[in-house]
Amino acid sequence: MQSLKSEFPIFETARKEGRPLIFLDNASTTQKPQCVINAVTGFYAGYYANVGRGLYWPATAASFNYDQAREKVRAFIGASSKKEVIFTSGTTDAVNKVVNSFLLPQLEKGDEVLVSEMEHHSNFVPWQQACQSKGAKLKVIPLDAGLNLDLSKFAAMLTDKVKILAITAISNTLGVKNDLKSIINLAHQHNIKVFVDAAQLPLSEKINVQNMDCDFLAFSGHKVFGPTGIGILYGKQALLEKMSPLAYGGGMVQQVSIDKTMMADLPAKHEAGTPNIAGTIGLAAAIDFINSVGVEEIGRHGAELRKYAVKRLSEIEGLTLFAKDAKSTAILSFTMEGIHPHDIAAFLAEKGIAVRAGHHCTYPLMQKLDIAGTVRVSFNIYNSEEEVDLLKNTLVEIRSFFL
C-alpha cells in the first residue's frame, strides 16, 4: 500500500514546519490521487463545455464523459440501470431531496420514521424536521452495550405506521458496521422502505444495491478520493419514476408551457440545472482508481490498521476505546481521561498528525455515550503502522504533559 502514497501529491508538497502530513481524518474526507486531479484539470483545460444540448465539440465530449461517469457509478454500486443513478452535490443533499420528494408528500400525522442512534446529523436532522413539520414521530433505534444496533428492539419498532427507515451503513464516529442485508430484509417484511447512508461504505466493501436490496442509497464523492460538491443518490427505478422531481429547472423537462410542465425521463427528471460536470468526471476517475487498487484491498488495509491501532492505543493508561471490536472498518474513536479531545487534537496537529476531535456530527450518539466528544482516527490506503506508532507515542507524550 505504501507505494500508493506517492500517487497523492499532497504528501509530497505539503510540509508543516518540515513535517510530512499524517492524515488520519479520512472519515471526514479523503485526499486526492493525481489521476483525479488530472481528470478535472483535463476537462477544464481540454474539452470543457456544458452537457446535454450542445451539438459542437467540446460539448459532445463533455456529454460523453458525463454519461460515462454515470455508467461507472452504476457499475460501482451494482445498480441494474443508469437510470437509477442520480447525481447530487453530496450525501446530505441526497438525504434532503429524498425527504422532500419521497417522504414529505406522503407523510401524515401519526406516521413514523425510523433512524438509529448512531446517525450522522445529515441522516438525522432532515428526517427529524420532516416529522416535526407533519406531526409524525421520529423513532430512534437504540444501540446495545457493545454499541451495535439493538436488533431485537429494532424488530419491535417495525409497524405499519413506519414510512421509511433511514440507516447508516457504518457509523462515522464508532466505525461500527451494520448488517444492512438483514435489516433491510426485516424492514421490507413490513413494507418499509429503506434509505441507506453509505457515506462511509464505498472504501470498506464492494457495494451491490441489488444484493442489499435497499430502496435508496447515497454517498459523497469527496470521501472516496473524488472532488468536493458531487455525490450520488441511488433509487430503485420504480420509486424514482413515481417520485416528484428532486428539483425543478433546466434540463429536467420535456416541455414547459405557462400552465404545465412535462418532466423528462429518468435520470434527467431528477437533475435540474447545470450539473457539477467536473465533479462527475473526477468521481469517475476516483472510481477507476479504486477499482485499480481493489475495494477489498482498500477495506482490508483500513481494517488492519484499525486493529493495529486498537492494540497499540490499548497500551495507554487512561485511554478509552469505543466499539473496540467493531470489524472491517477503518474508523476508531477514543477519549483520554482528564484531557479534552480538542487539546489532544491540537497537540497531535503540531506533529503533523491530522485527527478529528468533537462530536463528529453525531450529537445523539454523544448523548447516549454521555460525553461531549471523542478523538477519532480513520485510516486509508496511504496510512501505515508506522503512523499508528507515532500516534501512540505522541499520545503518551500528551498524557505526560497534561497530567
Give the residue numbers annotated as catalytic, written as ranges. 361
Binding mask 251-270 for other proteins (x = CB under 8 A): --xxx--------x------
CB 227 within 8 A of CB 283: yes
- Partner that binds at residue 200, options other proteins, ligand PLP, a copy of itself, none, CB closer than 5 to 8 Å by kind: ligand PLP
User: How far apart are the C-alpha atoms of 213 and 82, rounded to whole Å?
Assistant: 16
**Contact call for residue 347 and other proteins (CB under 8 A):** yes
Which residue stretch of 99-107, 234-242, 297-305, 349-357 sits at the interface with other proteins (rule: CB under 8 A)? 349-357
Rank residues 282 and 352 by Cβ distance to other proteins and give the closer one.
352
User: How far apart are the C-alpha atoms of 166 and 371, rounded to whole Å?
Assistant: 24
Query: Is 197 in a helix, a strand, or coil?
Result: strand
Which residue stretch of 161-169, 278-286, 301-309, 347-355 sits at the interface with other proteins (rule: CB under 8 A)? 347-355
Residue 186, C-beta contacts closer than 8 angstroms, at least 6 positions apart: 154, 155, 158
**Contact call for residue 268 and a copy of itself (CB under 8 A):** no
Rank residues 158 and 232 by Cβ distance to ligand PLP and give the closer one.
232
**Contact call for residue 224 and a copy of itself (CB under 8 A):** no
**Contact call for residue 237 and other proteins (CB under 8 A):** no
**Contact call for residue 228 and a copy of itself (CB under 8 A):** yes
Neighbour count for residue 121 (Cβ, 10 Å): 16
CB 22 within 8 A of CB 352: yes
Please report the beta strands in 17-174, taking only residues with DSSP state E, as ranges in sequence order.
Answer: 19-20, 22-23, 85-88, 112-116, 137-141, 162-168
- Partner that binds at residue 20, options ligand PLP, other proteins, a copy of itself, none, CB closer than 5 to 8 Å by kind: none
Task: Name the phi and psi angles at 20, rounded to 5.
Answer: -70, 160
Rank residues 101 and 172 by Cβ distance to ligand PLP and give the closer one.
172
Among 342, 389, 393, 402, binds a copy of itself (CB under 8 A): 342
User: How far apart are the C-alpha atoms of 46 and 396, rounded to whole Å?
Assistant: 51
- Partner that binds at residue 208, options a copy of itself, other proteins, ligand PLP, none, CB closer than 5 to 8 Å by kind: none
- In angstroms, the Cα distances linking 63 to 37, 48, 271, 278, 361 are 19, 10, 14, 11, 36
> By CB under 8 A, what part of segment 359-398 binds other proteins?
359, 366, 372-373, 397-398
Among 81, 211, 261, 393, binds a copy of itself (CB under 8 A): 261
